[in-house]
Structure 1
Amino acid sequence: MDSSKNTDEFYEKLKSQLYDTTLWPAEYLYKFIVLSKSSGVNEIEALFDNLGAVITTNESKKGKYTSVSINVRMKNPEAVIAKYKEVAEKVEGVISL
């Protein structure tokens, strides 16, 4: 099966769930994982710069990975999904949770 079709289906389902469960605009919590030795944390922070985001990071026990949690007020589910896509496109090796 085509992975872009799976991705599109995932985002459509997420958008529907976000509309069903949340009154917009609303706070949204993003979670990402990147390799600690990469520039991924800085790249993610730069993508959320000037949005009033609260960003916290936590390194894994062995120090190989860093989790990045971002709490930010988003306008609507489309804005949430657009930011997920932007991070996936611009940050190499990122895992979105």
Structure 2
Amino acid sequence: MDTEKSEEFYKKLIEQLYDTSKWPSTYLYKFIVLSEKEKIEAINTIFDNTGAVIESKKSKNGKYTSLSITVTLKNPEAVVAKYKEVTQIEGVISL
């Protein structure tokens, strides 16, 4: 995703989150990643010490792992900050 498009996407997301939720609020992230221990651990590390509940499920053939992460954050900017951290990990798909 090019930077200009992603910044516009994040700006729109922040506006929508302010319109639809009271903050602080619980947010659900969903990611799909290759079932590589290092990548899954990297995502887990991003959410360490946040009180996040992380559920993982491998795909039928085990090649991919989906991660559902529920965490309470103080504002939409914090939501976007976590997305930006996770997108630094190669091959992660955000849903």
Under TM normalisation by the shorter chain, which class is it?
Answer: over 0.9
Q: How far apart, CA to CA, are the structure 2 residues paired with 1:37 and 1:86?
A: 18
Q: Which residue of 2 aligns with 1:94?
A: 92
After TM superposition, the score normalised by the length of structure 1 is: 0.93
SS in 1 for 2:13: helix
After TM superposition, the score normalised by the length of structure 2 is: 0.95
Q: Which residue of 1 aligns with 2:67?
A: 68
SS in 2 for 1:7: helix
- How much identity, in percent, do the aligned residues show? 60
The runs of at least 4 consecutive aligned structure 1 residues that moved more than 3 Å come to none
SS in 1 for 2:65: strand
Q: How far apart, CA to CA, are the structure 1 residues paired with 2:66 and 2:51?
A: 19
Number of equivalenced pairs: 95
SS in 2 for 1:40: helix
1:19 and 2:18 equivalent?
A: yes
CA RMSD of aligned residues (A): 1.2
Q: How far apart, CA to CA, are the structure 1 residues paired with 2:6 and 2:70?
A: 23
Q: Which residue of 2 aligns with 1:6?
A: 5
Structure 2 residue runs without a partner (length 5+)? none
